[in-house]
């Protein structure tokens, strides 16, 4: 089974009609609406890649970790699109959840998706209570108020912004979660995987800033220029387009060098090289468009 198929299958099982029995009908359809069809699924793909590099000896635990992480990401997108935040009408080429349903259901769908993620992790306790609990703690840490994605969004309500903390928590956190949860799911120590996640997260953030500055709304499937509209400080604003592109190349080179020693190290390095190429292609394509 390809990684893509594995991720989609696991996500579909977590939000199947059976899993959502007894759920109010509109809320029940809103949850898959928020998750399918997905974007690049880059976070669970990284998680699976790291788990496989570490042996992936408990695939059910790895799948649960990938699902919980992607559900948390999708929950954050739903809340992020709300009128109080980005007020986005479009997400992944279709109406944002609060536009397709309503604002109450968008708040509740976000809450429900993130709760579901923790439930999915608790459900693999019988495979390994230790790994399940570590995954729950890690997901909580990197999604919550202290260094997690909630912190990332909350920095936008501060008068004085800690830029490093802002970027690391807003975008970096779930990439760090991807590498560290991948390691935990396969029974490896998470600490050595922090650096790779942080670097991929930084690269993704800068690539996104470059896209945001360059790409038209049609290409991205969401209104362009959101960041400058909302006056968030971006890498492009501080370094310029050429500076940000050079910085992105440096970070990606460092990411490959940072991969910890593990059984599948060489293969993982190839994969990260591939991701790096994809990430570099996006602003390059935007620049040409």
Binding site for a second copy (CB under 8 A): 19-28, 31, 75, 79, 82, 84-85, 101-105, 107-112, 114-116, 118-119, 121-123, 125, 129-130, 132-134, 136-137, 140-141, 143-148, 150-151, 153-158, 162, 165
Q: Which residues of 183-218 are buried (b: 16+ CB within 10 A; e: fewer)?
A: bbbbbbebebbebbbbbbbbbbbbbbbbbbbbbeee
User: Residue 84, SS3?
Assistant: coil
CB of 189 to a second copy, least distance (A): 17
Separation CA 206–CA 167 (nearest Å): 10
CB of 72 to a second copy, least distance (A): 9
In terms of DSSP H, where are the helices of the chain? 3-14, 25-35, 42-53, 59-80, 97-100, 103-122, 129-143, 149-154, 163-167, 173-185, 194-214, 217-220, 226-229, 235-257, 265-288
Burial of 17 per CB tally in 10 Å (0-12, 13-18, 19+):
exposed
Which of residues 92 and 127 has its CB atom nearest to a second copy in the complex? 127
CB 236 within 8 A of CB 287: no
Which of residues 145 and 274 has its CB atom nearest to a second copy in the complex? 145
Which of residues 1 and 84 has its CB atom nearest to a second copy in the complex? 84
CB of 144 to a second copy, least distance (A): 4
Which of residues 104 and 221 has its CB atom nearest to a second copy in the complex? 104
CB of 3 to a second copy, least distance (A): 27
CB of 133 to a second copy, least distance (A): 4
Which of residues 78 and 196 has its CB atom nearest to a second copy in the complex? 78
Which of residues 169 and 205 has its CB atom nearest to a second copy in the complex? 169
Residue 266 Ramachandran class (φ > 0 left, ψ -120 to 50 alpha, else beta) = alpha
CB of 4 to a second copy, least distance (A): 26
Which of residues 142 and 272 has its CB atom nearest to a second copy in the complex? 142
CB of 157 to a second copy, least distance (A): 5
Hey, how many other C-beta atoms are within 10 angstroms of the C-beta on 147?
Answer: 17
Longest dimension (CA), the chain: 53
């Amino acid at each position: 089974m390809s990684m893509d198929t594995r991720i989609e299958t696991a996500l579909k099982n977590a939000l199947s009609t059976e899993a959502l029995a007894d759920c109010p009908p509109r809320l029940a359809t809103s949850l898959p609406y928020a998750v399918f069809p997905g974007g690049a699924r880059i976070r669970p793909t990284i998680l699976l890649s790291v788990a496989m590099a570490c042996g992936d000896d408990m695939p059910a635990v790895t799948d649960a970790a990938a699902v919980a992480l992607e559900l948390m990401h999708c929950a954050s997108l739903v809340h992020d699109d709300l009128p109080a935040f980005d007020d986005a009408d479009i997400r992944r080429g279709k109406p944002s959840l609060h536009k397709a349903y309503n604002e109450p259901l968008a708040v509740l769908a976000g809450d429900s998706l993130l709760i579901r993620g923790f439930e999915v992790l608790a459900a693999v306790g019988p495979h390994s209570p230790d790994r399940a609990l570590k995954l729950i703690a890690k997901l909580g840490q990197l999604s919550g108020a202290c260094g997690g994605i909630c912190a990332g969004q909350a920095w936008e309500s501060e008068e004085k912004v800690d830029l490093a903390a802002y970027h690391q928590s807003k975008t970096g956190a779930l990439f760090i979660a991807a590498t560290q949860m991948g390691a935990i799911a396969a029974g490896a120590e998470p600490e050595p995987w922090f650096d790779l996640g942080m670097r991929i997260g930084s690269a993704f953030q800068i690539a996104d800033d470059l896209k945001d500055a360059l790409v038209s709304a049609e290409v991205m499937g969401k209104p362009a220029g959101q960041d400058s509209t909302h006056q968030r400080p971006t890498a492009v604003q501080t370094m310029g387009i050429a500076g940000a592109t050079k910085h992105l190349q440096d970070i990606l080179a460092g990411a490959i060098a940072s991969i910890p020693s593990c059984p599948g190290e060489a293969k993982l390095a190839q994969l990260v090289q591939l991701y790096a190429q994809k990430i570099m292609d996006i602003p390059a394509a935007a620049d040409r468009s």
